Chain A
Amino acid sequence: MPDGRIAVYRHPLVVRLTHWINALCLLVLLLSGLQILNAHPALYWGNVADFGSPFIAFASNSGPAIPHWLTLPGWQDLAGGRRWHFFFAWIFVSNGLVYVLDVVLSRRVTQVLAPTKEQLRHIGSSIREHLRLRFPHGEEARHYNVLQKLSYLIVLFGLLPLMVATGLTMSPAVDARLHFLTEVFGGRQSARTLHFLTAMALVLFFLIHMVAMLAAGPLTELRSIITGWFVIRSRRKLS
């Protein structure tokens, strides 16, 4: 670019589209999921609900356990919450399949997302730099850093598939045919609890994602995930 800055094409169109569709889906799934939780705001381990000793129970002094401003619909409506949840679950899974196919077939998973041995060797210093909110600049920022890669891999190939698997496990029809899923998770109520805990892990990821985005430069970051072009500020200006 004329002022000496370099722009790299970091995010192909498929990555950008699936990213934003995914973000919307996760928002709707979270809010409708909290609506569904309100129908029985207690979580258990095992196959059945031991009502006397839940693992976690949510309650409030007045009103619903999860406040209505955090649920979709914004009033007590289990039927409505399920409608939103299962419709957007379909969009989320379809979108996810498109992304996984693309990222595997285009080799993006190995070329962009997989950490290099060099990066893994220096993971300690990367953690320290991040904790000091010192982000890579210039040429160092050309590629995802090791913490980005690991967290994206964990989310994309760990947490998100786990949401689908624990969700499907709660289906009595799925349980009839694929009972091994229920057993892997330790029972139907364990699957429900894991579904919630994994959702909370995703919320935590989102918060860190936002902090990192803001600290690294929100305009640059947003521009790159909308237009695809990531501007690297080079320290030196060309005359």
Chain B
Amino acid sequence: MSPGVNATLEHAEGWTQAVQRVLLGRHALAPEYSASDISTSFRANGTINPDTAEYNEHVRTGFADWQLSVSGLVEYPLRLSLADLRRLPSRTQITRHDCVEGWSCIAKWSGARLSALLQQAHLKPNARYIAFYCADSLEPGPDDSGQYYETIDMIDALHPQTILAYDMNGRPLTVRHGAPLRLRVERQLGYKMAKYVMRIEAIESFANLARGKGGYWEDRGYQWYAGI
């Protein structure tokens, strides 16, 4: 489709985001379910194994030497092991995962609250987004590596249900589902919830990341605000 047509159609994302954020409020919680609602077969979508030498080595050693780095617009950059992350204030939630393709599955996620982690790192006042960089690459292009990445704004970053999940259904995340860490942003669609999170960065704008739309799928035509 022509760029002009696309640019016009893309205006709707702004209207939807504005109306949803104003009418629905910042603090609403996504519904939480009971253990009996958990899906017996939760589809693993997107990358199911980054399969790089570095990642495979981490899997082999049980992520013992793995560290999540938190950098960018923070006073105290952090390097946290999985054990460190497990010691941070955590949340367990049984939530429904809605994929942009149309299907839904329910699982129990346990992880470190992103708000607690960001509090420890002490965000600088000009931090407007949190970027998540992942271990997997999908299709590289001439202008970017195809590395999966995502960005969320501070409303979602500080939301109580936004966690870096290390456990799924009571057990550590499997490779298929994003080991060692999967982001949960429960009021948006599944593609925002990056798997294989390796590095977090507080940023002012995502315009200079990859193709500048704020995420791997956003760079390929999907909406940055995935509330609908």
Contacts and interface: CB of A to CB of B under 8 A. Distances in A.
Interface of A: 36-37, 39-40, 42, 44, 47-49, 51-52, 73, 77-80, 82-84, 86-87, 89-90, 168, 170-179, 182, 188-189, 192
Given A173-B24, A176-B187, A40 B8 contact: no
A79 B96 CA distance: 22
Given A40-B102, A73-B1, A80-B1, A87 B9 contact: yes
Given A52-B41, A168-B228, A170-B228, 7 more contacts: A47-B33, A47-B106, A90-B12, A171-B228, A172-B187, A177-B24, A177-B25
Nearest to A86: B12
A177 B222 CA distance: 23
B13 interface: yes
Given A79-B221, A87-B8, A177-B25, A51 B227 contact: no
B56 interface: no
B207 interface: no
A58 B52 CA distance: 36
Given A37-B102, A83-B12, A174 B222 contact: no
Contacts of A80: 1, 221
A39 B101 contact: yes
A176 B29 contact: yes
B11 A176 contact: no
Contacts of A36: 102
B79 interface: no
Contacts, number: 113
Interface of B: 1, 6, 8-13, 15-16, 20, 23-25, 28-31, 33, 37, 39, 41, 43, 96, 98-106, 186-189, 217, 220-223, 227-228
A52 B11 CA distance: 38
B163 to A, nearest CB: 15
A59 B12 CA distance: 31
Nearest to B17: A173
User: Can you list the 10 inter-chain pairs with the closest CB atoms, starting with the nearest?
Assistant: A173-B227, A79-B221, A49-B103, A171-B228, A40-B102, A87-B12, A177-B24, A40-B101, A83-B9, A177-B28
11 contacts: A47-B37, A47-B96, A49-B43, A80-B221, A90-B15, A90-B16, A172-B187, A172-B227, A177-B23, A182-B31, A189-B104
A173 B228 contact: yes
Contacts of A73: 1
Dominant secondary structure of chain B at its interface with chain A: loop
A44 B15 CA distance: 30
A39 B1 contact: no
Contacts of B228: 86, 168, 170-174
Nearest to B29: A176
A89 B13 CA distance: 11
A89 B9 CA distance: 11
Nearest to A168: B228
A216 B24 CA distance: 47
Contacts of A37: 102
B204 to A, nearest CB: 25
Given A49-B105, A174-B24, A86 B13 contact: yes
Contacts of B106: 47-48
Contacts of B25: 177
B104 A48 contact: yes
Contacts of B101: 39-40, 78
A40 B99 contact: yes
A79 B216 CA distance: 13
Given A173-B227, A174-B228, A48 B39 contact: yes
A168 B98 CA distance: 13
A172 B20 contact: no
B9 A84 contact: yes
A172 B223 contact: no
A146 to B, nearest CB: 39
Contact of A172 (B6, B37, B188): B188
B20 A188 contact: no
Given A48-B106, A176-B28, A176-B31, A82 B20 contact: no
